[in-house]
Chain A
Amino acid sequence: MASSSETPATEQVITAIFAKSLLVILQSRSPFVSSRNYSHDQIPLSPSSSSGSPSTRSSGPRDNWFNLALHDYPAALENSDFWRQSNLEPLVIDILLVNRVSGTEKLLERWVVQYETRKQPSTGRKSKRTYYMGATLLFRSLYMLVRLLPAYNLFREINSSGRIRPLGLLHRIQPFVNPLSRLEEAEMRHLSLAPIETPSGRLSHWVSYLPVLDDFSIGSEPSTPLSTEFIPDYVGSPTTDPLKRFQALPLGSSTPICVQPGRRHSWSAARLGAPNLSPLPEAQKSNKGPEGCYPFLTSSPQKASLLRGDSELVRFGELITGTSLPKEISIGGDNTRYLVGVKFSLSLDLNEDTDANYPFAPDATNRCSAGLWYFGGKKSCLLWTHNYEGERSQGAIVGALMRMLTTAPKLQIGFEKSNSLDQNPNPAPSGPRTAADALQELRNYMHMRDSILSQSGPHPSESCPDKEAKHKEETNPEKDMEEIKMP
């Protein structure tokens, strides 16, 4: 065992300095050695033990070294210095913050106690009392210093919680000083206590420590912790008003629907089952869009992502409880189904050119189904459609339906029963009608009548002179037309 040129008594004091330093540091950094885990009654304090003689290796005298009575430490701590072969080896205590989940470690503090022999012993005789006094003063400062550094509060917090936390403090004792990394050197501050001068050497204490412990971020975790922002009114939240305007969406635009990237919201069937559903109001015609922007509608020609098909519509119908359920009607001979039970409030100006104003172009061949989306407690609703073929947007389908309804020809008596209508080579013109048109239509009508009559055979009433007169009158429409011909 390498030894210095110190006297045995001095060596003994130096050994005690190492041991006491370890105890003072670990009692405020290691939960296993913490004095807070022990009661104060365990230490017998008596004036006779003030000499702090280490010969009596009991807990009392050893703890009173340098007039600083400390709690006893468990056997584990006593064995921690077994590796030290001599006082010439430094005592290096690393205090690490450990992440038990990721296994990463971060160096918080490095305490170093080192004894260096002097090449030439000092000329003046340094009595034992002098360096013992120096050690006494040093331990007052050391005891206070370990409580002033930032790691102490962290230790207190970890030690007091009494539960297993993902972060913990770990100490590592080494007989050598590992060089700090460049980052550690830059981050850490350094403090040194006044050295204790012994007859043949010097004992030094210093510490490198992190001045700021930022929220336990260590290792591979991001250096800047992500800021946590709670969005209380996220779309789909049960507490969020479904008609709430979202700033990111265009408001008050000419389009009655809002652009929203296609994503599935929780505005699903469950939402419709809210008890505060109310029957839809009357239609509100205005140039403005519907109230608010509803994120589940899109003006882009995208597949309606909210609906999956007829089954979805059926579900919607089932969930609308407590209101007048829409009844299914069919218009036309195709498979179009509309669930219309109430008036809807699409604010479309039907008098204007539909193609110019509506972003959705009608498609006569569009096969779609439509349904009504109810908003709980609100007075407006929207009509949405689902396209089986997935080619048209909901808005386009709405437009198609509207066009169909507004341009549907009026029903005429007897008109539907005749197949000749379908064969009418001259469809009703869409432009303004003239007298010539009316005359032509009359002729067609008469021709139709004659053909029907000829099919039904001669009628007994035909010999009737009144009827003949009537017939004459009827068979001479041109004369009548001439009479009424417009100048």
Chain B
Amino acid sequence: MNCETCQLKELELDPTEIRDVLRCVVHTIFFHRALGLVRPKDVDCELFEITYVQCGDAELEKKIDEKLEHFVAWSEKHPNRKSQVCLSFYEVKSKQSSWFGSKVERHYWEQWIVNVNVHPINPPRSSFLNSREKVSEETSTRRSALETSVREILFQIIKFANEKQEHIPPITNTEVVSFPYEISTPSSSESQFGWNKDAIKRILQSDHPYSLS
């Protein structure tokens, strides 16, 4: 089984935009991979005119919010850095060990990497007379560009989820989120480049060759 990886387009975010944008992206990914019985819930973004869909599972929402808060806290301590939020789906396989019984292993079959560049957007220095209008105009322009980027990412998710299906394992339960998952955010063990060591380690330790797409 291949581990399909989807590298999403990088997002340049202001710290105040992290929650709204990442919540939209992460929930959209889960909606495509939560193949249990789902009662979709339409949610409007706070900052953009974008409506995304949640699975309607309270536990999933809570877990996502916790991870995003952790990421926000990390980004506040490490400003102006590129980082990633990694969403991984795996299946648990037990491997019979010769001596110590079965060993549970995770086989990651899909990874979604959300590339984020968080840096405070400082208003440019403008003349005193036009400062407020100019700041508002530039903020509006930047926000519009960010909305376009978010839309592109959502289309990217739809395209990837639609095209890559062969690697998806069979559904073995009736839970809303059919497959076990893992949300990884930068931690103290992060390299200086913000790469997720655990994700890379997972890929390298995978028994099967991985593919990057």
Give the B-binding residues of A (Cβ under 8 A).
Answer: 40, 43, 45, 47, 49-50, 64, 67-70, 129, 133-134, 136-138, 140-141, 143-145, 147-148, 152-153, 156, 193-194
Q: How far is the CA of A45 from the CA of B158 in the complex (A)?
A: 26
Report A-chain residues with C-beta under 8 Å of the C-beta of B165.
133-134, 137, 194
Report B-chain residues with C-beta under 8 Å of the C-beta of A156.
51
A140/B37 in contact, CB under 8 A:
no
Chain A minimum-CB-distance residue to B174: A47
Given known A-B contacts A137-B165, A148-B155, A67 and B53 have beta carbons under 8 A apart: no
Q: Which of B151-195 contact A (CB under 8 A)?
A: 151, 154-155, 158, 161-163, 165, 168, 170-171, 174
Report A-chain residues with C-beta under 8 Å of the C-beta of B112.
none
Q: How far is the CA of A437 from the CA of B200 in the complex (A)?
A: 126
B71 at the interface (CB under 8 A from A): no
Knowing that A50-B174, A67-B37, A144-B158 touch, tell me 11 more A-B residue pairs with CB under 8 angstroms. Answer: A45-B39, A47-B37, A67-B38, A69-B39, A133-B168, A136-B35, A141-B161, A143-B53, A144-B28, A144-B32, A148-B154
Q: How far is the CA of A273 from the CA of B158 in the complex (A)?
A: 71
B158/A147 in contact, CB under 8 A:
no
Shortest CB-to-CB span from A265 to chain B, Å, is 36
25 contacts between A and B (CB under 8 A): A43-B39, A45-B39, A49-B37, A67-B35, A68-B40, A69-B37, A133-B165, A133-B168, A133-B171, A137-B162, A137-B165, A140-B31, A141-B162, A143-B31, A143-B40, A143-B53, A144-B31, A144-B158, A148-B151, A148-B155, A148-B158, A152-B51, A193-B162, A194-B163, A194-B165
Q: How far is the CA of A145 from the CA of B53 in the complex (A)?
A: 10
Of listed A40, A49, A143, residue having the most chain B CB within 10 A: A143
Report A-chain residues with C-beta under 8 Å of the C-beta of B158.
141, 144-145, 148
A40/B39 in contact, CB under 8 A:
yes
Q: How far is the CA of A64 from the CA of B176 in the complex (A)?
A: 13
Q: Is the interface of A mostly helix, strand, loop or mixed?
A: helix
Report A-chain residues with C-beta under 8 Å of the C-beta of B154.
144, 148
Of listed B36, B38, B154, B165, residue having the most chain A CB within 10 A: B38
Of listed A64, A67, A156, residue having the most chain B CB within 10 A: A67
B162/A147 in contact, CB under 8 A:
no
Give the A-binding residues of B (Cβ under 8 A).
Answer: 28, 31-32, 35-40, 42, 49-53, 151, 154-155, 158, 161-163, 165, 168, 170-171, 174
Q: Is the interface of B mostly helix, strand, loop or mixed?
A: mixed
Q: How far is the CA of A456 from the CA of B49 in the complex (A)?
A: 111
Given known A-B contacts A50-B37, A148-B155, A140 and B32 have beta carbons under 8 A apart: yes
Report B-chain residues with C-beta under 8 Å of the C-beta of A43.
39
Report A-chain residues with C-beta under 8 Å of the C-beta of B155.
148
Given known A-B contacts A50-B174, A133-B35, A140-B31, A147 and B161 have beta carbons under 8 A apart: no
Report B-chain residues with C-beta under 8 Å of the C-beta of A137.
32, 35, 161-162, 165, 168
Q: How far is the CA of A193 from the CA of B53 in the complex (A)?
A: 18
Chain A minimum-CB-distance residue to B40: A143
Report A-chain residues with C-beta under 8 Å of the C-beta of B38.
67-69
